[in-house]
Amino acid sequence: MRDKCEGEKTSGDGGTSHDHATGRQTIPVERALLEKNDTLAERNRDLFRARGLLVLNVLSAPGSGKTTLIQKTAEALAGRCRLGVVVGDLATDNDAARLRAAGVPVVQITTGTVCHLEADMVARAAAQLDLTALDVLVIENVGNLVCPADFDLGEELRVVLLSVTEGEDKPVKYPPLFHSANIVVITKTDLAAAAGFEREKAWLHLRRVSHHAEIFEVSARTGQGMREWADYLAQLRARRKR
């Protein structure tokens, strides 16, 4: 910070300080760097709420099982909730193709070099879905445990996945994202024994970081824990509808 002579400074104009010697003014701005994203996210949230949609922002490292969980969740909710998906990847529409093949309405966002989704991308993608025909909108974020943490998309809940093959200490290695989670889903529990996954240790780490989160344990592949998870979402959605 520049040194200024007190005698030369005048202040008034909303905290603006003026240095007469140099003719320089310091103007307080106090704006969030992600203000534009935050505004667009609020707009998304208003739109989603007006439609009675339950919106989930699903985040994890690459390969934690986001797409499989979403696909199996859609199946588990069949007949109760209609689920649509917006999926983000740097490239390819492989994930969207998988979900589409399973009969789930899906829009792919390819972000190019961008390592996270932003609210305006979600707004454009959601506009391509018939939201009136949906109950739950799932946003599958780019596989990344760092960057997406800062970007509000207008979701109701943040769902962070931790697969048993990643190690129990992932939450304490990436605290900001796990801290922001409303829900943590431990995935691939069918592989827990093979991966040497220590459940108690994982819960301990999660409890230290993910203070606000409900924790679920599922194997999307075998169906273990999927009913409890799907029932929970259906209840949340029902509450939204009232």
Partner 1 sequence: MHEVGLIQNAVAMALETVRSRGAGRVHAIRLRIGAMSGVVPEALQFAFDLACRGTPAEGAALEIEAVPAVCWCAACAAEFACDDFLGECPRCHAVSAELRRGTEMELAAVEVS
* Residues near partner 1 (CB under 8 A): 1-2, 22-36, 114-116, 146-147, 149-150, 172, 175-176, 179, 207-209, 211-212
Least Å distance between CB 160 and partner 1? 14
**In this complex, which beta carbon is closest to partner 1, that of residue 124 or of residue 211?**
211
**In this complex, which beta carbon is closest to partner 1, that of residue 114 or of residue 234?**
114
Least Å distance between CB 41 and partner 1? 14
**In this complex, which beta carbon is closest to partner 1, that of residue 173 or of residue 227?**
173
Instruction: Pick the closest to residue 198 from 186, 208, 216, 211 (CA basis).
Output: 186
Six-digit token string for 190? 């069918």
**In this complex, which beta carbon is closest to partner 1, that of residue 20 or of residue 241?**
20
Least Å distance between CB 118 and partner 1? 9
Dist CA 192 CA 202 (whole Å): 11
What's phi and psi for 17, nearest 5 deg?
-110, 145
Least Å distance between CB 31 and partner 1? 5
Q: DSSP letter at 148?
A: G
**In this complex, which beta carbon is closest to partner 1, that of residue 57 or of residue 187?**
57
CA 222 to chain centre: 25
Please say whether the beta carbons of 218 and 69 come within 8 A: yes
Dist CA 73 CA 232 (whole Å): 11
Dist CA 111 CA 117 (whole Å): 7
Dist CA 92 CA 100 (whole Å): 14
**In this complex, which beta carbon is closest to partner 1, that of residue 68 or of residue 182?**
182
Please say whether the beta carbons of 20 and 116 come within 8 A: no
- Do you know the residue count of the chain? 242
Least Å distance between CB 241 and partner 1? 29
Least Å distance between CB 35 and partner 1? 8
